């Protein structure tokens, strides 16, 4: 016998399920829209021209006509001040009280690379794609895996190969009891090539993977140059890697959109 009450209840249940499905679909699209908005906001940051939040960096890059010696290539647009550029050339400077001569006097040909490395770190306005947050007392951001040109890394290692050091990672593990870094207890000074057998090991390990060894040459447009003159070539390199990251993110978002669309069709 036909029961109109049961029939009405069935239809009511079906309608309720359909409405719930539609609400869920709408909620999912709202979440997707928020993800797109957040992504767009993140990508809109000017990572091609910015200074990291660190100990001596300016808040924003700009011209610094009085930069000193090896830091002068950044004078048109720099994250360092003139005072910082001068101190970058000094032993045990106020920048970090770092003692380059912890295993005897560092050779001039080796020291010049660390001066250039300091200028690059302090002055570069085009490190945005590699800036990462960090929980350290002396800085809130650092660089990670900046791709270095092969020539710069090899020349650095070659000019230091006859020097001595006692540590692999110079970012940590020193004895700072005298407020200047000394070799930690139990360590001994060894030849550079014993600590760093290859250019790759030195460039990647010496500053906790701040740099990434590459086989790219300076003409490739795929690596950052520590040494240059004239127009800063590193902006175009940063732009390449930023665009690459954006393409990867766009692909991931497209995949997510297609998944949402498929789910919506199934639920309709």
Q: Where are the domains of the chain?
A: 51-246
Rounded CA separation 91/9 (Å): 85
Residue 81: name the closest of 92, 66, 96 by CA: 66
Cβ(58)–Cβ(80) below 8 Å: yes
Residue 92's pLDDT is: 75
Residue 156: name the closest of 94, 226, 209, 205 by CA: 226
Residue 213: name the closest of 142, 157, 170 by CA: 157
- Alpha carbon separation from 222 to 64, 115, 207, 238 (Å, rounded): 27, 23, 21, 8
Residue 129's pLDDT is: 94
Q: Tell me: the pLDDT tens digits for 144-161?
A: 999 999 999 999 999 999
For residue 3, pLDDT over 90 is answered with: no
The strand pair at 131-136 and 139-143 is best described as: antiparallel
Mean pLDDT of the region 85-100: 88
Rounded CA separation 188/110 (Å): 20
Cβ(108)–Cβ(85) below 8 Å: no
For residue 208, pLDDT over 60 is answered with: yes
Q: Say which residue the tokens 């297609």 belong to.
A: 258
Residue 4's pLDDT is: 52
126: DSSP letter: -
Q: Tell me: the pLDDT tens digits for 210-266?
A: 999 999 999 999 999 999 988 999 999 999 999 875 655 544 445 555 555 555 555
Residue 131: name the closest of 226, 210, 216 by CA: 210
Residue 176's pLDDT is: 94
Q: What is the b/e burial string over 141-167, where b = at least 16 CB atoms within 10 angstroms of the residue's CB?
A: bbbbebbbbbbbbbbbbebbeebbbbb
Residue 66's pLDDT is: 83
Least confident of 11-15, 120-124, 132-136: 11-15
At residue 62, φ and ψ (nearest 5 deg) are -175, 175
Q: Tell me: the pLDDT tens digits for 182-194?
A: 999 999 999 999 9
Residue 48: name the closest of 155, 126, 141, 138 by CA: 126
Q: Long-range contacts: 33-38, Cβ < 8 Å, 24+?
A: 35/253, 35/256, 36/253
pTM strictly above 0.85: no
Rounded CA separation 113/199 (Å): 13
């Amino acid at each position: 016998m036909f029961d109109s009450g049961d029939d009405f209840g069935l239809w009511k249940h079906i309608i309720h399920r359909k409405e719930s499905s539609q609400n869920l679909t709408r909620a999912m699209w709202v979440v997707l829209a928020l993800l797109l908005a957040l992504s767009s906001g993140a990508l809109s940051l000017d990572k091609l021209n910015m200074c990291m939040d660190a100990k001596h960096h300016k808040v924003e890059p700009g011209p610094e006509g009085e930069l000193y010696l090896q830091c002068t290539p950044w004078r048109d647009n720099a994250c360092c001040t003139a005072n910082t550029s001068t101190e970058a050339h000094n032993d045990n400077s106020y920048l970090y009280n770092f003692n380059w001569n912890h295993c005897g006097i560092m050779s001039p040909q080796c020291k010049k690379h660390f001066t250039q490395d300091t200028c690059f770190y302090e002055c570069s306005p085009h490190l945005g794609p590699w800036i990462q947050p960090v929980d350290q007392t002396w800085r809130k951001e650092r660089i990670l895996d900046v791709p270095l040109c092969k020539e710069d890394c090899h020349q650095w290692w070659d000019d230091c190969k006859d020097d001595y050091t006692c540590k692999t990672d110079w970012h940590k593990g020193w004895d700072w009891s005298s407020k200047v870094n000394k070799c930690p207890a139990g360590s001994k000074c060894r030849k550079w090539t014993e600590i760093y057998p290859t250019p790759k090991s030195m460039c990647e390990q010496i500053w906790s993977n701040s740099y990434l060894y590459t086989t790219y040459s300076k003409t490739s447009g795929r690596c950052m140059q520590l040494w240059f003159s004239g127009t800063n070539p590193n902006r175009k390199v940063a732009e390449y890697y930023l665009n690459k990251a954006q393409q990867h993110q766009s692909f991931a978002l497209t995949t997510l959109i297609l998944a949402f669309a498929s789910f919506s069709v199934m639920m309709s």
